[in-house]
Amino acid sequence: MSLPILSIVLWLPALGALLLLLVPRGADELARRVALGVALATFVVSLALPLGYAPADLTGTRLAPELQFAEELAWLPTWGISYSIGLDGVSLWLVLLTTFLTPVVVLSTWDSVHKEVRNFQILLLLLTTAMMGVFVAQDLLLFYIFWEFTLIPMTFLIGIWGGENRIYAARKFFIYTFAGSVLMLLAIIGIYVLHRQALVAHDPNFVGSMNFSRIVSDLRSGNFTLETGIERMLFGAFFLAFAIKVPLWPFHTWLPDAHVEAPTAGSVVLAGVLLKLGGYGMIRYCITLFPEASRWAAPAIAILAIIGIVYGAIVAFAQTDMKKLVAYSSVSHMGFIVLGIFALNMEGVSGAVLQMINHGLSTGALFLIVGVLYERRHTRELEDYGGLWKIMPVYAAITLLVALSSAGLPGLNGFIGEFTIMQGAFLAPDLGWPFLGFAVLGVVLAAVYLFKMFQGVFMGELEPANAELKDLSRREIATLAILCVPIVLIGLYPAFIFNSMQVSVGEALDSLVLLAAGR
Amino acid sequence: MDTLIFIITAAIALIGAVAMVVARNAIHSALFLLLNFGAVAVLFLLLYSPFLFAIQLTVYAGAIMVLFLFVVMLLGAERIEDAPDQIAWQRPLGIGLGVVLMLVAMATALRASAFAPPPGGEALATFGDPAALAALLFTHYLLPFQITGIILLVAVIGVVVLNQRGRHRSEEAGREDARTRRREDARR
Amino acid sequence: MVPTAYYILLSAALFAIGVLGVLVRRNALVVFMSVELMLNAANLAFVAFARERLSVDGQVLVFFVITVAAAEVAVGLALLVAIFRSKRTADVDEVSVLKG
Amino acid sequence: MLTWLIWFIPLLPFVGFLLNLFVIRQERQAGMLASATVVASFVLALVATVLLAGLPEAERRVQSMAWEWIATGSLSVPFAIMFDPLTAVMVLLVTGVGALIHIYSIGYMHGDPRVVRYFAYLNLFVTMMLFLVMANNLLLLFLGWEGVGLCSFLLIGFWFERKEAAAAAVKAFVVNRIGDAAFILAMLAVFSNFGTLNFYGMEINGRWVPGFLERMPEIFGLRFGPDWQPIAIATGISFLLLIGATGKSAQLPLFVWLPDAMAGPTPVSALIHAATMVTAGVYMMARTEQLFAASPATQSWVVWIGTFTAFIAATAAIAQWDIKRVLAYSTVSQLGFMVAACGMGAYAAAIFHLLTHGIFKALLFLGSGSVIHGTHETQDMRKMGGLRTAMPTTFWTYMVGAAALAGVVPLAGFWSKDEILAHAAAYGYWPQLAILFLTSLLTAFYMGRQVALIFYGEQRDNHYHPHESGQTMRVPLIILAIGAIVAGFMNIPTLFSGMPAAHLLTDWLQPVLHEEAGKFNLVVAILATAGAVGMGYLGWWAYTSNAAKVKVGGLDPAYRYTGDIWDGMQEAWYVDLAYNRMVVAPFRSFSATLANVFDKQGIDGMVNGVGRVFTWAATEVRMLQNGYVRTYALVFTMGAVLVLSFMLFVTR
């Protein structure tokens, strides 16, 4: 590709952030418009990616995963570290999700952010670049740098514009995730060193390489083998960092605090994309690099995922604060995604990827919806609301649609993802009925707590306090409608995502296939 | 014959050291330290280094000990140990550690140095004289020599500056320090 | 001739006594003297080894040690005087303003 | 021609839904549009059925795929519908009764502020039901399955201001969801064992994909062979499907939501909770009949669940005071009949009863709606009485419906119920036959009681003066009444040799259900009719003779004889209460403790605990620096000693 589209898409938001620096501090309206312009521009440019994306045929398991829009620049040649980015079926749609959500998030700041708007937008755009960086980075170190870089803006977003004890939430969020990812850094260095040692034996002037596809091809071609003990340790380190980010069951306690304190826009980005970094990482780094360890750890992780699903749902039911309820629902949904990933087969992983996109859309919309009420009544407690269906019909209709998509009503996007994941988990050799029993229980509980929220807010008597709440403004309708379109579209026609994903998911699982073939 | 002299002086040195530590009165400990320095000077002689014998006596015994006595007299600090020891566990632990250190040091000494008598021979004659020492001092060790010079200069300037600030401090500062001390006591 | 080991043993003993003095005594001056004693013990060891190796370097080093010790005593005592003037005491424990 | 025509049947109501939702604001137009779309789709259904009948018997199945819905890995599910005899019959019922109910609703819901939205929901419901019935694979059937569940939530909770309506709506959705969970598991099992979710084979982009029902013999060929495993699969799958059906068709374990669902508007109860949605479970069992046939264990479960549900619901219906709750329990009971029939293998009889029941139960519900409408929203029968003079049409149509339900000879109810009982007798299900017979007697009794309480005696509460309902409500009643009379002749057994139109329905369903017609059993017929008439009269006589004893808000005259049993019957044997106490309350407290105790203190405590450990350690170390010079010296010497000893002992 002559024109480096991917780099443009990646760095456009960052450039936008720089542009915003020129805007005077006080000019909130201008800052919002510029930010929206940049976000929309990024989305439009990123549309070129799926159009230009030509999934290669699936014949034969090539050694290295096949990349589109690959770009490579020497960065630290002495150690073989390069700025190499590329796109494959899985990351394509996650990048699209990011660029799709960012304008929606910026649009939602019109009502929810009133102080320091310029800085808020700058952080938001930087965060977008960081997130996209994680999805496109093909170099381990570059991946790690972007991974850490996502933490900084998010922590400030929560820390400065958050709720009452935002400092506690921001600090907890930062330290918790950072602790996990530091382990990952160790693992990255470990791989790099092992890889270099293994290959120096072959050609002495080999200077080591952080390039992901290079390492994977060496792994598969056999001239770089990991001894099982080491492989499991490295797998553990990577997995821990991603498990904290996902968040998987025992590591989830930072999520409710972060969500409750984060501003609406922050919550949407956090739930919409940041949680997917963990999931994406698992697919790209855990399964592809350490197939044997993934096979070994899969049942244990599936158990954690199942606990996460049921536990998240039950705890969500008990919440009185709407945002906490949606936060725990995210824990439950992400449990599904991890279950899908560690089913280690085509249906499971592609279902997980689709579910990641679905979760981004529906939970993002849910947070926007909670934000709408929060902007009007400045309270998130369920008791304060009731009978809003009468005075806010449009709002109720959209909330119902999004709640149903999140609960997994067939015909909407949630169900497709969940069904494929469950199908994958059912077909997986070591996951069977018991796992599915609980997963389905999670689906039922999802309906329970979402309808508890719906009933609490929209049905029953209309208290005088809520009597004069006005329905959604045109901008709010626009924001939510943008999210509702893909929710219904993916529900009825998910093929356009599945088809382009087949090749890459296949390649991600190739290592397992090779393993099974006893290479 | 030498061993006899060595044993006597060593004993004197040890007694002097112990007495210095144990003595209640600061002046007595200063004088015992003087005795110790004298004994060590004699040992230097035994080790064929007359120059150091002279230096030891003049600089250490003469200058430093005199300075000490002067300061003790100036401050009148002979009798300040009668107050009970603030930190109860300081004394026993200190003694214990000192003994352990002595044993370890001696053990290292035994293992490290040779027991055989030191080599004699004709080189011994010219060994200790100041000329050879001076030759080495001004050729090989010229740089350290200059640096020690500078150190001494700095020391002198330091002493002058310290005392200057001391003089300007008014009575009020003294009282204020006393108050902080009382508050600290209360807090401890 | 007296074997060097005796000297080193003596030096170790003197050094240990010096340490004892530093640890146990609360009078700043006595502590100072103990430090001087420790330095002296070190000098003795130097000279003993110089004698054994028949190399004058040892003695030169002792010479430097003595000069530095002198400078140190000068500054130390000046400090002591300054502290005594403001705190009216030379007890080591009183001086604990720099508490962590 | 048929392949594209059948797509319009579900799409027309969907268009109606979209228009009502986004475009139409005016009540009159909404009503007309909604009814028009359903009537149009009814006409289309008729045309399609006629065309289908034209095809030779062997190829009476038309399937058409719009696009490939899910295609990842080995999982490939087409978005496709089909039209075969069974579907035709169901579609006709849904659209036919649905159209009448839409017209009836125009009158009934007149003046409601949100009536446009009501018609939108109604149209959405019909669309979803049609998808359910016409789906050619389990997943699309499941889409319809949950879609109707959603619409029942929306319609039950239509008057959401009322606390009990909101609670009933959520309860209905959640209980259905429990059944649907089992349905999902069944689908997963079907796919992993058969590789496809399609019922019958079909062309998907070029290659012929066999349906799982066709591969049944291949997998279960060795049905009675030594290999026990296939039968285990069939039992597992069919049992899960059974749980799904009990959820949707309100059978024993999961029937608690149907009586509460009466909180919704009456036409909704008529359409959803009598005629169409609740029959989905029976339809699904009929459709996947081979699966159930392959596992005798599940068959017996099905029969017993059906029989017990029928009996218990009948007992509960007797003791109700709310006019609609009587009919609700009656529906549960009649569904029990159909499920029992399926269990006995008499699928054709079940479908026949489903159709007739759909007609006369809708008639009864609409009749009760007209009564409620006439008596200004009173639903308590104790406040009614003597309404036959004030509402003649409603009275006569209600009588026809009641008689049909009770099973009086010429009417539809008799033929369909009798066929079930005859089948039970013919195949030796004696215990079930006895209970079902007893249930039919109870049915006659509570219908007699209801008719007596509403229409006979004199008006007990005269805060209102009853009036007959308007034209748009009476016409559907009359049509349905005629239907209740005529419907029986769809499937008359061969009374005498050479009878012309015997067993029309069974022959029509032959290509799908492969059943021969059962023989007519005279003894059962006579007994059933005598019982029906007798018990009906007894019920009517009991409540007209001591009509005086019935006080507004008072106890039932029979309470004196029965006491606690009567309370038990009224509360449907406290099943709902048991669920609340043993499932809902513990779940609520468990989730509260899990959230507040385990999550907040437990895991979060551990995380913050790590933080606290470090801060504590930091303060401890800080204490060490206490400012005393001698302590520093001490530490210093300790270090020296350690180094020395290390040098001494370690580095030999």
**Which CATH number is C13's domain given?**
1.10.287.3510
D124 has pLDDT over 90: yes
Taking the CA of residue B45 and the nearest CA in chain C, the distance in Å comes to 10
Measured in degrees and rounded to the nearest 5, phi and psi for residue D322 equal -80, 130
B87 has pLDDT over 50: yes
- Which residue from D minimizes the CA distance to A172? D608
pLDDT band at D10 (very low <50, low <70, confident <90, very high): very high
Mean pLDDT along residues D67-81: 84
For residue D624, the chain C residues in CB contact (below 8 A) are 100
What per-residue confidence (pLDDT) applies to A237?
92
For B180, counting Cβ atoms within 10 Å of its Cβ (0-12 exposed, 13-18 middle, 19+ buried), the class is exposed
What per-residue confidence (pLDDT) applies to B179?
72
What per-residue confidence (pLDDT) applies to A310?
92
pTM for this one?
0.81
The string of DSSP letters for D191-224 reads HHHHS--BSS-EEETTEEE--TTTTHHHHHTTTT
What per-residue confidence (pLDDT) applies to D543?
83
pLDDT tens digits, one per residue of A458-490: 888 888 888 888 888 888 898 899 999 999 999
Compute the count of residue pairs across chains B and D with CB atoms less than 8 Å apart.
31
Mean pLDDT along residues D5-23: 91
Chain C contact present for D647, CB below 8 A: no
Name the percent of chain A lying above pLDDT 90: 36
Contact between C29 and B72 using a beta-carbon 8 Å cutoff: yes
How distant is the alpha carbon of residue B170 from its chain centre? Answer: 34
> CA A379, CA D461: separation in Å to the nearest integer?
47
pLDDT band at D134 (very low <50, low <70, confident <90, very high): very high
A495 has pLDDT over 80: yes
For residue A411, the chain D residues in CB contact (below 8 A) are 143, 146-147
Chain mean pLDDT for chain C: 83
Taking the CA of residue C33 and the nearest CA in chain B, the distance in Å comes to 7
Helix (H, G, I), strand (E, B) or coil at D261: helix
Identity of the residue numbered D556: D
Q: Residue A253: which of D69, D139, D599 has the nearest Cβ?
A: D599
For chain C, how many structural domains are there in total? 1
> What residues does D207 pair with on adjacent strands?
D204
**Domain ranges, residue C37:** 4-88
B175 has pLDDT over 70: no
- Output the CA torsion sign for C76, C82, C87, C88: positive
**In a domain? residue A383:** yes
Name the percent of chain D lying above pLDDT 90: 31
Q: Which tokens hold the place of A57?
A: 């045929």
Residues 9-68 of chain B whose Cβ lies under 8 A from any Cβ of chain C: 10, 13-14, 17-18, 20-21, 23, 26, 29-30, 33, 36-37, 40, 43-44, 46-49, 51-52, 55-56, 59-60, 63-64, 67-68
D277 has pLDDT over 80: yes
Cβ partners under 8 Å of residue D536, min gap 6: D402, D403, D406, D408, D444, D445, D447, D448
Chain A contact present for D122, CB below 8 A: no
D523: left (phi over 0), alpha (psi -120 to 50) or beta: alpha
Percentages (nearest 5) of helix, strand, coil residues in chain C? 80, 0, 15
> CA D443, CA D433: separation in Å to the nearest integer?
15
For residue C62, the chain B residues in CB contact (below 8 A) are 49, 52
Mean pLDDT along residues A238-253: 89
Spans of all domains in chain B: 1-80, 141-188
Structure-model confidence comparison of residues B89 and B98, the more confident one: B98
SS (H, E, C) A459-471: CCCCCHHHCCCCC
Q: Kindly report the CA angle at A305 between A516 and A143, in degrees rounded to 5?
A: 70
What per-residue confidence (pLDDT) applies to D218?
67
What per-residue confidence (pLDDT) applies to A411?
87
What per-residue confidence (pLDDT) applies to D42?
94
For residue C96, the chain B residues in CB contact (below 8 A) are 184
pLDDT band at A97 (very low <50, low <70, confident <90, very high): very high
Q: Are D170 and A317 in contact (CB under 8 A)?
A: no
> CA A391, CA A458: separation in Å to the nearest integer?
9
What per-residue confidence (pLDDT) applies to D651?
66
What per-residue confidence (pLDDT) applies to D192?
83
What per-residue confidence (pLDDT) applies to D73?
72
Taking the CA of residue B101 and the nearest CA in chain D, the distance in Å comes to 6
> CA B13, CA C7: separation in Å to the nearest integer?
12
For chain A, how many structural domains are there in total? 1
Biggest CA-to-CA distance, chain D: 123
> What residues does A81 pair with on adjacent strands?
A76
Chain C contact present for B90, CB below 8 A: yes
Q: Residue D641: which of B90, B94, B97 has the nearest Cβ?
A: B97
Cβ partners under 8 Å of residue A87, min gap 6: A6, A49, A53, A67, A68, A69, A70, A95, A136
pLDDT band at A519 (very low <50, low <70, confident <90, very high): very low
Q: Which tokens hold the place of D176?
A: 């259905």
Chain mean pLDDT for chain A: 87
Structure-model confidence comparison of residues A356 and B115, the more confident one: A356
Q: Which tokens hold the place of A5?
A: 């589209």
For residue B177, the chain C residues in CB contact (below 8 A) are 86-87
**Domain ranges, residue A486:** 290-509
> CA A131, CA A13: separation in Å to the nearest integer?
11
CA atoms within 13 A on the CB side of C31: 21
B86 has pLDDT over 80: no
> Which of C42, C37, C32 lies closest to C8 in space, CA to CA?
C42
Taking the CA of residue B186 and the nearest CA in chain D, the distance in Å comes to 15
Biggest CA-to-CA distance, chain B: 70
**In a domain? residue C18:** yes
Contact between D191 and A423 using a beta-carbon 8 Å cutoff: yes
Q: Which tokens hold the place of D502?
A: 């015997």
pLDDT tens digits, one per residue of C78-92: 888 887 777 766 666
**In a domain? residue A332:** yes
Which residue has 């119902």 as its token pair? A400
Structure-model confidence comparison of residues A517 and D399, the more confident one: D399
> CA A454, CA A382: separation in Å to the nearest integer?
9
A107 has pLDDT over 80: yes
Taking the CA of residue D640 and the nearest CA in chain C, the distance in Å comes to 11
Mean pLDDT along residues D352-368: 91
pLDDT tens digits, one per residue of D442-498: 999 999 988 888 888 888 777 778 888 888 888 999 999 999 888 888 888 777 766
Taking the CA of residue B155 and the nearest CA in chain C, the distance in Å comes to 5
pLDDT tens digits, one per residue of A149-164: 999 999 999 988 888 8
- Output the CA torsion sign for A458, A462, A464, A470: positive
Contact between A461 and D592 using a beta-carbon 8 Å cutoff: no
Omega prior to A247 cis, within 30 of 0: yes
Compute the count of residue pairs across chains A and D with CB atoms less than 8 Å apart.
146
> CA A356, CA A322: separation in Å to the nearest integer?
22
Q: Are D439 and D326 in contact (CB under 8 A)?
A: no
What per-residue confidence (pLDDT) applies to D34?
92
Contact between C12 and B105 using a beta-carbon 8 Å cutoff: yes
> CA D287, CA D278: separation in Å to the nearest integer?
15
> CA A194, CA A191: separation in Å to the nearest integer?
5
Helix (H, G, I), strand (E, B) or coil at A4: coil
For residue D637, the chain C residues in CB contact (below 8 A) are 19, 22-23
Long-range contacts of C58-63 (CB under 8 A, 24+ apart): C59/B49, C59/B51, C59/B52, C59/B128, C59/B133, C60/B133, C60/B136, C60/B137, C60/B141, C62/B49, C62/B52, C63/B51, C63/B52, C63/B55, C63/B133, C63/B137
Taking the CA of residue D442 and the nearest CA in chain A, the distance in Å comes to 36
For residue D648, the chain C residues in CB contact (below 8 A) are none
Question: Does the domain made of B1-80 have the CATH classification 3.40.50.980?
Answer: no
Residues 33-62 of chain C whose Cβ lies under 8 A from any Cβ of chain B: 33-34, 36-37, 40, 43-44, 47-52, 54, 56-57, 59-60, 62
Which residue has 């400030």 as its token pair? A156
Of the given ranges (A48-52, A139-143, D475-479, D515-519), which has the lowest mean pLDDT? D515-519
Of the given ranges (A323-327, B82-86, B147-151, D629-633), which has the lowest mean pLDDT? B82-86
pLDDT tens digits, one per residue of A44-82: 988 888 887 776 655 554 556 667 778 888 888 888 888
- Which residue from D minimizes the CA distance to C92? D629
Contact between D644 and B101 using a beta-carbon 8 Å cutoff: yes
For residue D189, the chain A residues in CB contact (below 8 A) are 426
Mean pLDDT along residues D168-189: 91
Taking the CA of residue D641 and the nearest CA in chain B, the distance in Å comes to 6
**In a domain? residue C94:** no
pLDDT tens digits, one per residue of D211-268: 777 777 666 654 444 455 667 788 888 999 999 999 898 888 888 899 888 888 999 9
Chain D contact present for A409, CB below 8 A: yes
Structure-model confidence comparison of residues A56 and C33, the more confident one: C33
**In a domain? residue A382:** yes
C23 has pLDDT over 80: yes
Chain mean pLDDT for chain B: 79
> CA A70, CA A80: separation in Å to the nearest integer?
17
Structure-model confidence comparison of residues A22 and B167, the more confident one: A22
What per-residue confidence (pLDDT) applies to C96?
62
pLDDT band at A128 (very low <50, low <70, confident <90, very high): very high
**Beta pairing class for A68-76 and D62-72:** unpaired
Compute the count of residue pairs across chains B and C with CB atoms less than 8 Å apart.
270
